[in-house]
């Protein structure tokens, strides 16, 4: 009869140990999912575009997030072709940049990084940047699947 109590006790302790780990991983994933679902322009984003002839908006239809940027002034003739590559580079940095910051953090953020990796892969989060000129014509549209970012892949290999 004593062996039954010992076996039951060990089983309960094991269930609590592994169940707690699973519970917290689920909680971290839900936190990250809620952050992405409520993504909006931050004061830092607004300050970065302060003084520039740009206005922006975010349409968040999680897992598809659309960033709309519109120029409020006309470009000099012929400059649109030189601006497009820079806009493409900047939109990719905006989408993929946060992953490089995560991979540089301490090991105490590994649970958060694991949750982000899990959410990005499970939900297949996509960010689309649509940039328009003053008249509303699309200058550039860039669709970035976050799990395909090189920075995401680096983060994933550093955590695993």
Q: 59-81, pLDDT tens digit by residue? A: 999 999 998 888 888 877 777 77
- The CA R_g of the chain, rounded to the nearest whole Å, is 22
Q: CA angle, 88 as apex, 86 and 114 as ends, to 5°?
A: 125
Q: Are 95 and 127 in contact (CB under 8 A)?
A: yes
- Partners of residue 67 on adjacent β-strands: 58, 129
Residue 126 has what pLDDT?
94
pLDDT in tens, 97-108: 888 877 677 666
Whole-number Å distance between alpha carbons of 92 and 120: 16
């Amino acid at each position: 009869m004593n062996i039954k109590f010992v076996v039951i006790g060990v089983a309960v302790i094991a269930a609590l140990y592994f169940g707690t780990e699973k519970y917290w991983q689920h909680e971290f994933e839900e936190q990250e999912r809620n952050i992405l679902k409520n993504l909006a322009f931050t004061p830092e984003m607004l300050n970065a575009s302060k003084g520039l002839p740009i206005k922006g908006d975010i349409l968040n239809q999680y897992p598809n997030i659309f960033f709309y940027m519109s120029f409020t002034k006309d470009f000099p003739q012929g400059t649109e072709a030189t601006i497009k590559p820079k806009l493409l580079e900047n939109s990719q940095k905006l989408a993929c940049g946060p992953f490089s910051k995560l991979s540089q953090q301490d090991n105490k953020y590994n649970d958060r990084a694991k949750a982000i990796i899990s959410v990005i892969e499970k939900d297949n989060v996509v960010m689309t940047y649509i940039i328009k000129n003053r008249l509303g014509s699309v200058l550039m549209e860039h669709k970035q699947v976050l799990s395909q970012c090189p920075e995401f892949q680096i983060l994933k290999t550093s955590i695993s």
